[in-house]
Amino acid sequence: MIDGHHPKRKGTQTPWAGQEISIGEVLKAEPYHQVFDTNTAVMLVIEPDSGLIVEANQAACQFYGYDASTLTQMYIHQIDNLSEVEVRQEMENAKTLRKKRFEFHHRLASGEIRDVEVYSGPIETQAGTLLYSIIHDITERKQIENALRESEELYRQLFEAESDAVVLIENDTGRILEANSAAVALYGYTREELLSMKNTDVSAEPEETRRITITTPIVAENVVPVLLRWHHKKNGTVFPVEITGRFFHWKGRDVHIAAIRDITPRKEAEEKILEQQKQLEAANARLEALVVKDPLTDLFNRRAFNVRLTAEISHAIRYWCPLSLIIIDIDHFKIYNDTYGHPAGDEILALLGQLLVRHTRETDFAARYGGEEFVLILPDTGVQGAIKFAERCRMAIEQAEWPRRNITASFGITTLEPDSPPRIELQLVTEADQALYHSKKTGRNRVTHALSLQP
């Protein structure tokens, strides 16, 4: 629990390419800077478990009246009128996508309470899940809704003052009964033109608009949020809108008042953030591959081999199935390097890696062990199967067309049979290595199984 004291804020860190990169640095970097920090919409990034405000853009600082260093030391329950427990519950709803839209009362630095509409959802970072929240000040809209119940004249004044497009619609027909100046500016029609139209006339999805208009019941406090709908202007431009509709009885008929906001900038920002998220995920995947892949051959490296061998031994013992290990060494590779140079030697290593991949099954595991040595893990493969497989590979290497001169390789094999004594990774590698040594000692370009060396 947070007891009201502010612990020293820990930076949200993302391990990437050996450096520590904070979520703040990512958001402040281009193009995140353009999307997040300079956006006119109020935006916060929140750590959902504690409620710590991790990042706040300039619009958020201006709205709440705190500087960035102060705001990012605060917890969201310190500006929300809900209790800490209630705030935690709503963060969990946002994190698990049970809810995306929320309405809260937020407290500014001045002490003023503002009604806000919050769209919040999870974003994944190397540091974990954070909540990305876009906050709109809807105080005026709430005042309009309250005024509608109190005074039609006051409603008219606020109706016209609302910055969002607001229209009053008859449910049965969809006819637009009232429209404010913002609606006139948004759609490009005159007020008289709008009052002669139906709500389906400005919708790019008229059937869905008609369905919601007709089927939504009239009950107390019946607010219907529509997070995304596509409308069109008089000039034909199609654009995304967010609609909040309140359904009620007015002058003996069923109507609803719809507050309509053009969300083109927000959609563009969300799309850019999504694209950057995908790019980050792709970059992280490439970095992860670098940790386990050999860059020259594109096979797995020795580190990955050690992890896989441990897992395969456990699987073989648990499920009582054979497991074979093969070590391959290119014959006279030092002479090849000394004769043709190391770039030529690297070419041979890469080509051999490709050959081994072509001859292995999907369940097999090929890795570069080091230098000119390669290793193969063959699950569910006994002694005879491993010998036959190694012979096929040996012949394929011998018969392949290589640049400059022919290449051969020596093979050492060991097998963990279900009825053989359990051995650890080092024992299997040692047995295969001894078998390889025997192949090289007895003439190279041959296959030796460790069983043949037993007295």
User: Which tens digits make up the pLDDT trace of 387-411?
Assistant: 999 999 999 999 999 999 999 999 9
Average pLDDT over residues 255-281: 88
Question: Residue 25 pLDDT > 60, yes or no?
Answer: no
CATH fold for the domain made of 293-453: Alpha-Beta Plaits (3.30.70)
Average pLDDT over residues 203-226: 82
Q: Comparing C-alpha atoms, which of 265, 296, 349 is closest to residue 41?
A: 265
Q: Comparing C-alpha atoms, which of 218, 228, 9, 8 is closest to residue 101?
A: 228
CATH fold for the domain made of 13-137: Beta-Lactamase (3.30.450)
* HEC sequence for 151-215: CHHHHHHHHHHCCCEEEEEECCCCEEEEECHHHHHHHCCCHHHHCCCEHHHCECCHHHHHHHHHH
For the purposes of burial, counting CB atoms within 10 Å of the CB of 340, is it exposed (0-12), middle (13-18) or buried (19 or more)?
Answer: middle
Q: Return d(Cα 364, Cα 111) in angstroms, integer.
A: 66
- How high is the pLDDT of residue 332? 95
Q: Which long-range contacts (CB under 8 A, 24 or more apart) does 269-273 make?
A: 269/35, 269/36, 269/39, 269/41, 272/31, 272/34, 272/35, 273/32, 273/35, 273/36, 273/123, 273/132
- How high is the pLDDT of residue 173? 92
Report domain extents, the chain: 13-137, 140-263, 293-453
User: Is CATH 3.30.450.20 correct for 140-263?
Assistant: yes
Question: Residue 253 — pLDDT band, cuts 50, 70, 90?
Answer: confident
Question: Residue 433 pLDDT > 60, yes or no?
Answer: yes
Higher pLDDT, 126 or 27: 126
Task: State percent of the chain over pLDDT 90.
Answer: 63
- Contacts (Cβ under 8 Å, ≥6 apart) of 116: 103, 104, 105, 106, 135, 136, 137, 138, 139
Identify the weakest region by mean pLDDT among 73-82, 142-151, 249-258, 289-298. Answer: 142-151
Higher pLDDT, 124 or 412: 412
- Contacts (Cβ under 8 Å, ≥6 apart) of 306: 425
Q: Return d(Cα 397, Cα 399) in angstroms, integer.
A: 6
Peptide bond into 31 cis (omega under 30): yes
CB 93 within 8 A of CB 99: yes
Question: Residue 329 pLDDT > 60, yes or no?
Answer: yes
User: Which tens digits make up the pLDDT trace of 125-150?
Assistant: 877 899 999 999 999 988 877 776 66
The pTM of the full predicted model, rounded to 2 decimals, is 0.44
Same topology for domains 140-263 and 293-453, yes or no? no
- How high is the pLDDT of residue 228? 87
Q: Return d(Cα 69, Cα 81) in angstroms, integer.
A: 22
